[in-house]
Amino acid sequence: MTTNTRTSTMRAITQTAFGAPDVLHEAEVERPAPGVGQILVAVHAAGVNPTDWKHRDRRVFLGEPPFTLGWDVSGTVEAVGLGVSLFTPGDEVFGMLPYPHGAGSHAEYVTGPARAFVPKPAALSHVEAGALPLVALTAWQALVDTADVRPGQRVLVHAAAGGVGHVAVQIAKARGAYVIGTASAAKHDFVRGLGADEVIDYRTADFVREARDVDVVLDPLGGEDRLRSLETLRPGGVLVSILPVDLDGLAERAAELGVTAKTLLVEHDRAGMAAIAALAESGRLRVHVSGTYPLAEAAEAHAEGETGRVTGKLVLTVRP
């Protein structure tokens, strides 16, 4: 389907009920206008993340549908709102919409705060740029802002071939860390190619036995693995979980071991995006896109993502 050129409406992926991927459907909706401090972005590409299908399936943060999902965006500035000095129409930008209530990038156009965006690096295609923001900001805020990873530290990244994990490996390496990743055996070469110094097959080995004296753990898994990960830390180490859900006994166990456990909910962040853009421009950070889907096939992208077998990211393409 061609991109809508009319000024009053646009195509968007919406849902009127919670449920399986088939609740998603393409609809013609009113095109937004930028408010004070906002920009209107003509979306070229938008990443799909686990949080998208979690919100699609059940009430998390957004309340009752209808709504349009999507926080990642790469595109071209179409218009700017009052007070915006950073961008002008025609600028290529990428960023993450405010999480959680700023969702809406799975559409032809989206508005967001100007300071949620930075210029898109020329080295990145829109598909690559559209895949990066949420996972890269999550990894950056966990490893840099929260854990302050430093050269020579040992960092354990769980699910190192996943969306957040494969970016986290590279950010930790860029900070000078020794990186240990967990992944299935079939993905070990991929994770090593990202720069990991060691890779543990979580299906056949006990990561608690294999990874010792760790300074920082990045946990995208939750559950019992989060609790057990505390045992890999040296005294004074820190576990950062990107699933901000309390786990019974986590704080108590961390205190017993002399370590710290923190939870993180990603935030839009211009400074973080600028750092990520610089890493990508320099070649020290690359995003792996496993597959692309046209906007109308968002349901298929959700179904693929929910298999749990995706390496890296999936992306919806909206414009060439």
Q: Do residues 247 and 154 share a domain?
A: yes
pTM: 0.95
**Total number of domains in the chain:** 2
- 270 in any annotated domain: no
Residue 320's pLDDT is: 84
Q: What is the CATH number of the domain that holds 110?
A: 3.90.180.10
For residue 3, name the pLDDT band (cuts at 50, 70, 90): very low
Q: What is the CATH number of the domain that holds 177?
A: 3.40.50.720
For residue 152, name the pLDDT band (cuts at 50, 70, 90): very high
pLDDT digits (tens, 9 = 90+) for 224-280: 899 999 999 999 999 999 987 767 788 899 999 999 999 999 999 999 999 999 999
For residue 9, name the pLDDT band (cuts at 50, 70, 90): very high
Average pLDDT (192-198) is: 98
pLDDT digits (tens, 9 = 90+) for 63-117: 999 999 999 999 999 999 999 999 999 999 999 999 999 999 999 999 999 999 9
Average pLDDT (25-37) is: 98
Q: Do residues 203 and 218 share a domain?
A: yes
Q: Do residues 14 and 69 share a domain?
A: yes
Q: Do residues 177 and 230 share a domain?
A: yes
- 254 in any annotated domain: yes
Q: Do residues 110 and 154 share a domain?
A: no
Q: Do residues 71 and 166 share a domain?
A: no
- 277 in any annotated domain: no
- 19 in any annotated domain: yes
Element of type H or E holding 234: strand 233-241
Q: What percent of the chain has pLDDT over 70?
A: 97
Per-residue b or e along 126-141, where b marks 16 or more CB atoms closer than 10 Å to that residue's CB: bbbbbbbbbbbbbbbb
Q: Do residues 146 and 223 share a domain?
A: yes
Average pLDDT for the chain: 95
Domain hosting 163: range is 135-263
Q: Do residues 125 and 153 share a domain?
A: no
CA 262 to each of CA 68, 140, 165: distance values in angstroms, whole numbers, following the listed order: 30, 14, 17
Question: Which residue, among 50, 115, 129, has the nearest Cα to 271 in the 3D structure?
Answer: 115
Q: Do residues 176 and 80 share a domain?
A: no
